[in-house]
Structure 1
Amino acid sequence: MAEPHAVVVGGGIGGLAAALALHRRGWGLTVCERAPVAEPDDLGLAVAPNALRGLDALDAGADVRARSARHGVAAIRRKDGRWIVRTGAAEAENRFGDPMRVLRRAELHSLLLRRLPEGALRTATTVSSVEPGDTRQLARVRTDSGELSADLVVVADGVRSTIRPMLFLEHPGMAYTGFTCWHAIVQRPDDHPVEFAESWGPGGVAGVLPLPGNEVYCYATGNAPAGAAAKDERAELARRLDGWHGPIPDLFAAAPPETVARSDVWHVDTPLPAYHKGRVAVLGDAAHAMAPTMGQGVGQAIEDAVVLAHHVDGSLAYVPTALQSYTDTRLPRTAALVQRSAQLAEAMQSDSAVLIGLRDTAATVAGRLAPGLLAHYVRPIDDWHPPGAG
């Protein structure tokens, strides 16, 4: 029997995870990435316990653990620095089997890419259209360098997917969350300890994630119109963070101005009718981009990849039927997480003094008086296991 062939549209972490999951099950691969060089944004990345289990299924979990910093699943302060919720890595490990792991996004991308066969990734290759095919016809993928046929096409080209609207003509597409995010990676200061934590204030949050070595990933959010920009983003951020506890303002102030990046946050808040059409599967942010409030964007893409490969394994003649099972498994879970992330974002981005007081009080009670409530809230997310895991 000829080797089944998959075309993956998008060479980000979700696309590479899907490619690796399929490669491990004997599929031939072509990964089409429109960028001339496969270099992800220089961001810090929090990898939750469920994502680590997915990476274990790809034989990449051990490398991620070796190259990452250990943190708890929740550590939240007020704007003035007082703790609201504080959990450590050991507590997270006891509850979920793993703590949160933090590393550079580029590090995870490189770990996945190195596991793919040489030549699988084609950079500077733009996919212009996809014909989904069916049980009798293979899918067809048109690119600016030629046409490809495929037993399976995986659409993993992100929240701004160009293929998603071709597959689901009536879907409204992505929507703006109402807030933007600034981020930078800076050197850890010698004179100030830096703890993993996220701080909640009026109209946004700010967080610090110590990375392996001597670096810290910093981020901050703020309500703003889509597409807005400042002449000096570091100065704009300094204005917004005036009065916040240390070391947050100082960390951003230490970043060279050109390294402080700004990204509007978009999500797919209306669920797709399905995560497949014909022989095409939609995965990751292309299917269910969510606000980053629960740190599950990458984790859900990795879950998608593992579940997709599980369902299409051994079903070459019935790929569309296998993809229906993929939709049935993934859509309810991810749609619920999109909505939960949006609801949490609404609370975190609130600038109402009354709502902020209620938010912080509720989180304090859950975190300090009844820590089991926090575990109950995140367990359905972090307790996921790959199909067939014992």
Structure 2
Amino acid sequence: MDESSGRSALVVGAGIGGLTVAAALDRAGWRVTVLERAPQLGEVGAGISIWPRAWAILTELGVAEHLVDGVRPAIQAGLRRPDGRWLAKAGAATTARGPVMVHRARLHEALVGSLGEVEIRTGVTVDQVCDGGRGAVVETTAGDSLEADLVVAADGIRSSIRSGVRSRDDVRYAGYTAYRGVTAKPVPGEASTSGGETWGAGVRFGYAPLVDGRTYWFVSANRPAGERSDDHHRDVTALVGDWHEPIAQLIAATPADAVLRNDICDLRLPLGRFDHGRVALLGDAAHAMTPNLGQGACAAVEDAAALVARLVDEPEIGRALTAYDRERRPATQRLVRASRLVGTVGQIDNGAVLAARDAGITGVGAIAGLLGR
């Protein structure tokens, strides 16, 4: 009989990382319950890049086959100025070395469909986690106590479980906010065959075709934390509406009420441990990063695979989680640092420094090469 037979896990959070680890634990023979704070399952209307390592994991879980229809064409990408002049071209990103761009909701739906015997409870808010007699006990705000051999905290950057075990505020505002949108339908012309980013003074625009033919785009802009607006579509148009095509075309093709806005935050460095007794932190709860490398969700998927692999290799949960922390914390800390650096360079708004930045990119093409890879 498998060593994991009869073992139980509580996964807190039904986002991409939480559902991936739930599916992987279920396949390894664990009894899994997912606790989700929202009253129903769902994901935001934005795009997501799935890089090769994460794609391989999703393929193993039987999820990838539900994400792509037909052949994915190579996309010409690179980095431009607002007037359209290329700072650097990255070349066409092929299926083998580039990301697969999908809608987050489509990935989320495919993960839900892969869960097998996993139980999902919505409308459950976790208050704290403590040690029990033979495992970890999750206390909910409704007064319920749930015990399991393992608790996986996949409850996002504002994780209540991480805050409880570390007793400090790890969240850092990056200094800029992001608007995100997806066109209502495919947009013909350049928008369907190209992608990449455009960098201005303290403002960036990026876009990429999704596998369903629509286009995902984002705008990042230097703003005070917590700033509010009642019309995100109007704000985006004012920021980049006069930049090169197909930017205005993409914004116009996006429903006005479908533009999302979120302040960009990450976790302070150095990252804290991912293991706390029988509790494992995963995804944004462990290593929330800025979105500049498009690696946040992929890192959560890789966390899930690494955690379950260590649990299969090592029957003693505490040692398995220590090995998981040893493997994943250094790797994700490098991603947090690298993504923060790209954002710092991309959001420069000082005129003299801006000119030097653009000249350096044109001369060596370093950042465009990174985007291409």
How does the TM-score come out when normalised to structure 2?
0.90
What is the Cα deviation at residue 215 of structure 1? 1.6
What is the Cα deviation at residue 378 of structure 1? 7.7
One-letter amino acid of the counterpart of residue 34, structure 2: V
Report percent identity of matched pairs. Answer: 35
Q: Does 1:180 align with 2:177?
A: yes
CA separation of 1:27 and 1:49: change in aligned 2, threshold 3 A? same
**Any idea what the Cα deviations from partners look like across 1:64-121, whole Å, max 9, x if unmatched?**
344795555952222111222232123xx5xxx3421011001111111111125521
TM alignment of 1:201-350, pairs within 5 A = 201-316=200-315, 318-350=316-348
**How many matched pairs?**
366
One-letter amino acid of the counterpart of residue 129, structure 2: V
TM alignment of 1:1-390, pairs within 5 A = 3-66=6-69, 69=72, 75-83=78-86, 84-90=88-94, 93=95, 97-118=96-117, 120-132=119-131, 137-143=134-140, 144=142, 146-169=144-167, 171-186=168-183, 187-190=185-188, 193-194=191-192, 195-316=194-315, 318-367=316-365
Name 1:388's counterpart in structure 2: none
**Any idea what the Cα deviations from partners look like across 1:178-208, whole Å, max 9, x if unmatched?**
1111111113334664422211111121112
Q: Does the Cα contact within 8 Å between 2:31 and 2:118 map onto a contact in 1?
A: no
Unmatched runs of 5 consecutive residues or more in structure 1? 383-390
Q: Separation in 1 of the partners of 2:120 and 2:240?
A: 41
Judge which range, 246-255 or 225-234, deviates more: 246-255
Q: Separation in 2 of the partners of 1:249 and 1:260?
A: 14
Q: Separation in 1 of the partners of 2:34 and 2:271?
A: 24
Q: Does the Cα contact within 8 Å between 2:23 and 2:116 map onto a contact in 1?
A: no
What is the Cα deviation at residue 364 of structure 1? 3.1
One-letter amino acid of the counterpart of residue 152, structure 1: L
Q: Separation in 2 of the partners of 1:121 and 1:308?
A: 20
Q: Separation in 1 of the partners of 2:59 and 2:72?
A: 17
Q: Does the Cα contact within 8 Å between 1:5 and 1:27 map onto a contact in 2?
A: yes
Aligned with 2:107: secondary structure? Answer: helix
Q: Does the Cα contact within 8 Å between 1:233 and 1:262 map onto a contact in 2?
A: yes
Q: Does the Cα contact within 8 Å between 1:153 and 1:281 map onto a contact in 2?
A: yes
Aligned with 1:230: secondary structure? Answer: coil
Aligned with 1:52: secondary structure? Answer: helix
CA separation of 1:362 and 1:85: change in aligned 2, threshold 3 A? farther
Q: Does the Cα contact within 8 Å between 2:79 and 2:368 map onto a contact in 1?
A: no
Q: Does the Cα contact within 8 Å between 1:8 and 1:153 map onto a contact in 2?
A: yes
Aligned with 1:358: secondary structure? Answer: helix
Unmatched runs of 5 consecutive residues or more in structure 2? none
CA separation of 1:192 and 1:332: change in aligned 2, threshold 3 A? closer
Q: Does the Cα contact within 8 Å between 2:187 and 2:253 map onto a contact in 1?
A: no
One-letter amino acid of the counterpart of residue 207, structure 1: G
Q: Does the Cα contact within 8 Å between 2:101 and 2:209 map onto a contact in 1?
A: yes
One-letter amino acid of the counterpart of residue 261, structure 2: R
**Aligned-pair Cα RMSD in Å:** 2.4
Q: Does the Cα contact within 8 Å between 2:89 and 2:368 map onto a contact in 1?
A: no
Q: Does the Cα contact within 8 Å between 1:39 and 1:106 map onto a contact in 2?
A: yes
Q: Separation in 2 of the partners of 1:280 and 1:322?
A: 11
Q: Does the Cα contact within 8 Å between 2:77 and 2:93 map onto a contact in 1?
A: no
Q: Separation in 2 of the partners of 1:21 and 1:166?
A: 26
One-letter amino acid of the counterpart of residue 60, structure 1: V
What is the Cα deviation at residue 214 of structure 1? 3.9
What is the Cα deviation at residue 289 of structure 1? 0.5
One-letter amino acid of the counterpart of residue 333, structure 1: A
